[in-house]
Chains A and B, each alone.
Chain A
């Protein structure tokens, strides 16, 4: 199993550009989430999904869109990049139900917006 994979590993954007961060998992997990990690703030939830076709907002959803057309994939779209979106982005997945509710994280995407 590859687990949770994310592409790209690094990305530099100019303000106003759009892009999609890719996330895929091969563990047949129903739950998938996107987090951003900023210095001194831990990780904060952007969007999450409890299954194909179902998504919802987390703590910091502004400026981001998601969709979940398949169980495996959960892409995160930046509509118009801003310097405040410079961060490390992590995708995660889990079965969701105790005792298998720990989240497995991808390796992260480091995004810089100039």
Chain B
């Protein structure tokens, strides 16, 4: 069975600090996809990134970066120089190759950036 664990329930930092959100997953599939979604206080779910299990390249998008390590089954998300607008709940999710519409979500990490 697939499982995603986000052990950090809540994180609170001061603006401009760097923060890393952890995501650990379990799957028996060799091909799978990992995702990060952001849920701001308004409640919608915003897609941030997708990673194919065969692509272990790290990715950087502005202040956001993602570290995918198959050896430790982790897909961590780092925000550099955090801003108040980054305050949200962040979800890590996993889907198998043949069931791309079946996402398994972690419990989410509530990130609060204090001014």
Contact = CB atoms under 8 A, between A and B. Distances in A.
> Does chain A bind chain B?
yes
Interface of A: 31-33, 35, 40-45, 48-50, 58-59, 88, 90, 92, 94, 96-99, 101-105, 107-108
A32 B102 CA distance: 10
Contacts of B6: 42
B103 interface: yes
Contacts of A104: 47
B100 A31 contact: yes
Contacts of B30: none
Interface of B: 4, 6, 9, 33, 35, 37, 43-45, 47, 50, 52, 91, 93, 95, 97, 100-108
A35 B105 CA distance: 10
A91 B31 CA distance: 25
